[in-house]
Amino acid sequence: MTDLPTSTDKKLGLVIDLDTCVGCHACVISCKGWNTENYGAPLSDQRPYGEEPMGTFLNRVHSYEVTPKGQAAQTVHFPKSCLHCENAPCVTVCPTGASYKRKEDGIVLVNESSCIGCGLCAWACPYGARELDQAEGVMKKCTLCVDRIYNENLPEEDREPACVRTCPAGARHFGDFADPESNVSKLTAERGGMDLMPELGTAPVNKYLPPRPKDTWDDESILAPFLEPVAEETAGFLGWIDKQLSRLPGDTNKMEGAE
Amino acid sequence: MHPAPSVIVFSVLSGIGFGMLAWLGIESTPATGMTAFWWYLVAFGLAVVGLVSSTFHLGHPERALKAFTQWRTSWLSREGVCAVLALCVMGLYAAALIFMGTHIAILGWIGAALSLITVYTTSMIYGQLATIPRWNTPLTTVLFLTFSITGGALISGRISTALVLLVASAFVQVIWWKKGDTAFADRGSDLGTATGLGKRGTVRSMAHPHTSPNYLMREFIHVIGRKHAQKLRVISLVLMAGVPVVLLVLPFNHIFGLLAVLSHLAGVATSRWLFFAEAEHTVGIYYGAR
pLDDT of residue A218: 66
Q: How far is CA A135 from the centre of its chain?
A: 28
Q: Mean pLDDT over all residues of chain B?
A: 93
pLDDT at B69 over 90: yes
pLDDT at B38 over 60: yes
- Decide if A128 and B189 are in contact by the 8 Å CB cutoff: no
What one-character DSSP code corresponds to residue A83? Answer: -
Q: Which domains are assigned to chain A?
A: 12-209 (3.30.70.20)
pLDDT of residue A87: 95
pLDDT of residue A217: 63
Instruction: Render pLDDT for B88-145 as a digit per residue (tens, 0 to 9).
Output: 999 999 999 999 989 999 999 999 999 999 999 999 999 999 999 999 999 999 999 9
Residue of chain B whose Cα is closest to the Cα of A208: B196
Residue of chain B whose Cα is closest to the Cα of A125: B131
pLDDT at A253 over 70: no
pLDDT of residue A259: 43
Taking CA atoms, A135 is separated from A54, A108, A149, B189, B215, in Å, by 11, 22, 27, 33, 12
Tell me whether A5 touches chain B (CB under 8 Å): no
Least CB-CB distance to A75: which of B194, B206, B282?
B206
Phi and psi (nearest 5°) for A109? -130, 165
Instruction: Identify the weakest region by mean pLDDT among A210-219, B21-30, B209-218.
Output: A210-219
Residue of chain A whose Cα is closest to the Cα of B79: A95
Which residues of chain A neighbour B214 with C-beta distances below 8 Å?
A: 54-55, 57, 60, 131
Name the E strands within chain A.
12-17, 45-46, 54-55, 59-67, 74-81, 99-101, 108-110, 131-132, 139-140, 172-176, 207-209
Name the 3-class secondary structure at B287.
Answer: coil
Least CB-CB distance to B196: which of A62, A95, A196?
A196
User: A117, A137, A162: which is closest to A46 by C-alpha?
Assistant: A137
Edge-to-edge strand list for the sheet holding B202-207: A74-81, A59-67, B202-207
User: How far is the C-alpha of A50 from the C-alpha of A32, rounded, in Å?
Assistant: 19
Tell me whether B282 touches chain A (CB under 8 Å): yes
| Higher pLDDT among residues B225 and B108, named by residue | B108
In percent, the amount of chain B with pLDDT more than 70 equals 99
Tell me whether B80 touches chain A (CB under 8 Å): yes
pLDDT at A16 over 70: yes
User: How far is the C-alpha of B269 from the C-alpha of B195, rounded, in Å?
Assistant: 37
> ipTM for the complex?
0.92
User: How far is the C-alpha of B148 from the C-alpha of B268, rounded, in Å?
Assistant: 10
Tell me whether A3 touches chain B (CB under 8 Å): yes
What one-character DSSP code corresponds to residue B203? Answer: E
Instruction: Identify the weakest region by mean pLDDT among A142-156, A189-203, A212-226, B64-78.
Output: A212-226
pLDDT of residue A258: 45
Instruction: Render pLDDT for A37-93 as a digit per residue (tens, 0 to 9).
Output: 988 999 999 999 999 999 999 999 999 999 988 888 999 999 999 999 999 999 999
Task: Please report, for chain B, the start and end positions of each structural domain, with discontinuous segments joined by +.
Answer: 1-128, 161-290
